[in-house]
């Protein structure tokens, strides 16, 4: 009875029906649109175009921090608190895809049990899928869909390893960095580039020894850093497991919604980056498709390996194809 049933539904349910469902608050339509956009199914951009004007209201919070710092447990507690205050919440939990198999184990839901059945909350796990710069865009797209669906707050959880992951939180209005006591060199472990985008520090697992030291460390670091005239980010101690410090944290987030990096200059910078990312992906996709069809890329690789040419000359010889790509985009 199941054979092929699902494949058929994907094809037969039109974008229109799904978009309509999203506007009416249908969870299945929402979930399916996210899948189709994530997969870059034909028509995804048109769908985003029609969703875009519906959104723009949600506040997007990015959570990053080392593996096991308690990001999911915190997200669970924070989401529950937001719901108690009358907000609806969307959660995007990002985990890495295996570079070898392309598969992923998405386990953040394990720590988000309290909120899974709350109707105000929608949780979506997302694999990085080894996307070139597209990861940030993928998270941004999903956040935007949740925004259009009517979620007041969207939380993006990502692992603070690798520059890619740091990129993800750039899709957020507010970035919260989670530290924990007893991590050896503590805050030294903070990723390069994180300090520049952190709006708020959380020292989680404050039920453990050494939390005050971490708070002091962060304070010291902030004192000597130049944060370009932005207000000094607050440092908040929590114990997500014991549900301590959560009220203070959510208070700080709500306050951050009003100030933070929502400044016009930051918004403009983000929009610029987004356009460039989208264009980059389009051109690359176009070129890849072309090369696969013509076999030119394989030929070029062969040529380089046989020492007949070099990567730089190959790129120069390919530039006309890029120009052609931009022309074909103009006409279609």
Partner 1 sequence: MNNKKIRVLIAKPGLDGHERGARIIAYGLRDAGFEVIYTGLRQSPEQIVSAALQEDVDVIGLSILSGAHLSLTKKVVDQLKSNDAEDILLVVGGVVPEQDVASLKEMGVAGVFTAGTSVSQVAQFISEQVNA
String of contacts with partner 1 for each residue 80-109, x by CB under 8 A:
-----------------xx-xxxxxxxx-x
- Give the one entry of partner 1, ligand GTP, Mg ion, none that residue 109 binds, where binding means its C-beta sits below a cut-off of 5 to 8 angstroms depending on kind: partner 1
| 3 state SS of 226 | coil
Tokens coding 53: 């004007």
Residues 75, 63 contacting (CB under 8 angstroms): yes
Identify the CA nearest to 68 among candidates 204, 245, 238: 204
Tell me the window of 14-22, 148-156, 203-211, 217-225 that interacts with ligand GTP (CB under 6 A). Answer: 203-211
- In the bound complex, what is the minimum distance in angstroms from residue 307's beta carbon to ligand GTP? 45
Under DSSP, the state recorded for 223 is H
What distance separates the 2 farthest-apart alpha carbons in the chain? 67
Residues 47, 19 contacting (CB under 8 angstroms): yes
Tokens coding 251: 């208070």
Among 4, 56, 67, 86, binds ligand GTP (CB under 6 A): 67
User: With binding defined as CB under 5 A, does residue 165 bind Mg ion?
Assistant: no
Identify the CA nearest to 61 among candidates 174, 199, 203: 174
Among 29, 97, 239, 277, binds ligand GTP (CB under 6 A): 239
Tokens coding 6: 């699902």
Residues 147, 175 contacting (CB under 8 angstroms): no
Which one, 71 or 124, has the nearer CB to partner 1?
124
Residues 156, 168 contacting (CB under 8 angstroms): yes
303 to 296, 300, 306, 311, 314: CA distances (angstroms): 10, 5, 5, 9, 9
CA angle 278/295/39 to nearest 5° reads 35
Among 29, 64, 66, 72, binds Mg ion (CB under 5 A): 72
String of contacts with partner 1 for each residue 36-75, x by CB under 8 A:
---xxxx---------------------------------
Among 18, 89, 123, 187, binds partner 1 (CB under 8 A): 123
Interaction residues for partner 1, span 278-307 (CB under 8 A) = 285, 288-289
User: With binding defined as CB under 8 A, does residue 9 bind partner 1?
Assistant: yes
Under DSSP, the state recorded for 67 is T
Question: How many chain residues are in contact with partner 1, going by CB under 8 A?
Answer: 42
- Give the one entry of ligand GTP, partner 1, Mg ion, none that residue 128 binds, where binding means its C-beta sits below a cut-off of 5 to 8 angstroms depending on kind: none
- In the bound complex, what is the minimum distance in angstroms from residue 22's beta carbon to ligand GTP? 28
- In the bound complex, what is the minimum distance in angstroms from residue 143's beta carbon to ligand GTP? 18
CA angle 270/96/183 to nearest 5° reads 90
Under DSSP, the state recorded for 244 is B
- Give the one entry of partner 1, Mg ion, ligand GTP, none that residue 116 binds, where binding means its C-beta sits below a cut-off of 5 to 8 angstroms depending on kind: partner 1
Which one, 72 or 277, has the nearer CB to Mg ion?
72
Among 21, 62, 70, 260, binds ligand GTP (CB under 6 A): 70
Residues that bind partner 1 (CB under 8 A): 1-7, 9, 27-28, 31-32, 34-35, 39-42, 97-98, 100-107, 109-110, 113, 116-117, 122-125, 127, 129, 285, 288-289
């Amino acid at each position: 009875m199941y054979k092929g049933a699902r494949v058929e539904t994907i094809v037969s349910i039109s974008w229109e029906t799904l978009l309509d469902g999203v506007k009416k608050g249908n969870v299945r339509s929402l979930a399916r649109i996210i899948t189709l956009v994530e997969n870059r199914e034909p028509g995804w951009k048109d769908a985003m175009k029609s969703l875009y004007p519906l959104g723009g209201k949600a506040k997007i919070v990015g959570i990053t921090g080392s593996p096991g710092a308690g990001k999911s447990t915190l997200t669970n507690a924070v989401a529950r608190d937001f719901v108690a205050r009358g907000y609806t919440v969307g959660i995007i939990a990002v985990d890495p895809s295996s570079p070898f198999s392309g598969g992923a184990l998405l386990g953040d839901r394990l720590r988000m049990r309290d909120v899974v059945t709350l109707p105000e909350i929608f949780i979506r796990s997302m694999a990085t899928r080894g996307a070139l710069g597209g990861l940030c865009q993928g998270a941004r797209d999903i956040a935007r869909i949740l925004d259009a669906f009517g979620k007041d707050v969207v939380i993006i959880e990502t692992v603070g390893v690798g520059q890619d992951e740091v990129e993800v939180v750039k899709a957020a209005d507010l970035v919260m960095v989670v530290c924990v006591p007893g991590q050896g060199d503590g805050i030294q472990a903070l990723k390069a580039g994180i300090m520049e985008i952190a709006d708020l520090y959380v020292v989680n697992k404050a039920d453990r020894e050494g939390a005050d030291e971490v708070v002091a460390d962060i304070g010291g670091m902030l004192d000597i850093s130049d944060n370009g005239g932005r207000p000094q980010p607050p440092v908040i101690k929590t114990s997500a497991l014991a549900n301590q410090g959560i009220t203070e944290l959510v208070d700080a987030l709500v306050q951050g919604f009003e100030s933070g990096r929502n400044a016009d200059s930051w918004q403009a910078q983000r929009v610029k980056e987004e356009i460039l990312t989208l264009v980059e992906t389009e051109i690359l996709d176009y070129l890849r498709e072309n090369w696969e069809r013509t076999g030119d890329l394989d030929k070029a690789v062969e040529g380089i390996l046989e020492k007949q040419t070099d990567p730089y000359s190959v790129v120069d010889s390919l530039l006309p194809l890029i120009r052609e790509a931009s022309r074909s985009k103009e006409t279609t």
